[in-house]
Amino acid sequence: MNHTERRSRKLGWRFVVLAVVLVIAGSAIIRSCWLDVYYIPSESMEPYLLTGDRVLVSRTDYSSTAIVRGDVVVFDGRGSFAPLNSGQGPIADALHTVGVWLGVAGSDTVYVKRVIGVGGDHVKCCSAGGQLEINGLARDEPYLYPGDAASTSAFDVVVPEGKLWLMGDHRSVSADSRSLLGAPGGGMVSVDKVIGRPLRILWPLERFGPLDRLTASAILPAPPAIQKDAQ
């Protein structure tokens, strides 16, 4: 191989490396500002989301539209659903973060749940008919996992302003706001912790498609609106 060929090959590898770096950097910017992909590690949101689903999440939807009862949100659970410090050490945390970013591992601190109560709501379980009560009115929940009760544990909470009361659709297996009633914060999650809204399922291919958002008419009683500050 002569000098010209060696130089040409070296330049070729440099362009390849530069292209890879630019793709990774561009992907990182997009995923941190606009769209991201999350892996669903549990059954807590069945039948809406299944274990192993990869979902595309909009980070900007709730900057322009209100968070209302019935919405499904992806949120950072540190300080509420998860401890602020994982206790695994920086190396293990870094490796796990890479796995989450690649979509091959579930996050220990990012959760997907449904909004049941917003600021000012009085949420109670259960009514004489076994339903959730919101502000004194029994609520129909068409998204519940077939055969599940609204809740097998009783609770009676008032959601502070700027907070959310969140529950899974598969109530019998979901660790959610109910599980944290005795913890600091009482199971409430700050609106500022919301990362975004699931838009569609990307994987597996047989489930590829958009994820429906409940219309206001399907949410009883009519929900007050919460506007999340732009990120």
The model's pLDDT over 96-144, given as tens digits with 9 standing for 90+, comes to 555 555 555 555 788 999 999 999 999 999 988 999 999 999 988 999 9
Q: Which residues contact 186 (CB under 8 A, 6 or more apart)?
A: 157, 180
**pLDDT tens, 73-95?**
999 988 888 754 545 666 655 55
Q: Has residue 178 got a pLDDT over 80?
A: yes
Tokens of 131: 């339903």
Q: Give the separation between CA 71 and CA 226, rounded to whole angstroms.
A: 11
Identify the band that residue 161 occupies on the pLDDT scale cut at 50, 70 and 90.
Answer: very high
Q: Confidence class of residue 62 from pLDDT cuts 50, 70 and 90?
A: confident
Would the pLDDT of 12 be above 70? Answer: no
Active-site residue, from 42, 58, 113, 177: 113
| 174 catalytically annotated | no
- Which among 42, 44, 174, 177 is annotated as catalytic? 44
Confidence of residue 30 (pLDDT cuts 50, 70, 90): very low
Q: Which of 11, 46, 217 is nearest to 147 (CA)?
A: 46
Kindly report which listed range (20-29, 113-122, 140-149) carries the lowest average pLDDT score. Answer: 20-29
E-only strand ranges, 77-224: 110-118, 122-125, 132-134, 137-139, 155-158, 163-167, 189-190, 194-203, 209-210
Looking at residue 9, its pLDDT comes to 63
Considering only 2-16, 75-89, 187-201, 210-224, which range has the smallest mean pLDDT?
Answer: 2-16
State the average pLDDT over residues 60-80: 88
Q: Is the pLDDT of residue 22 over 50?
A: no
pLDDT band for position 185 (50/70/90)? confident
CA proximity to 68, closest of 111, 119, 34: 119
| Closest residue by Cα to residue 171 from 191, 150, 156, 186 | 150
pLDDT the model gives residue 90? 60
Please answer whether residues 214 and 208 qualify as being in contact, where contact means their C-beta atoms are separated by less than 8 angstroms. Answer: no
Output the DSSP codes for 97-108. Answer: HHHHHHTSS--S
The residue among 161, 227, 157 whose CA lies nearest residue 194 is: 227
Mean pLDDT of 142-158: 95
Average pLDDT for the chain: 79
Statement: residue 18 has pLDDT above 70: no
Q: What is the pTM of this model?
A: 0.76
- 151 belongs to the catalytic site: no
pLDDT at residue 65, rounded to an integer: 83
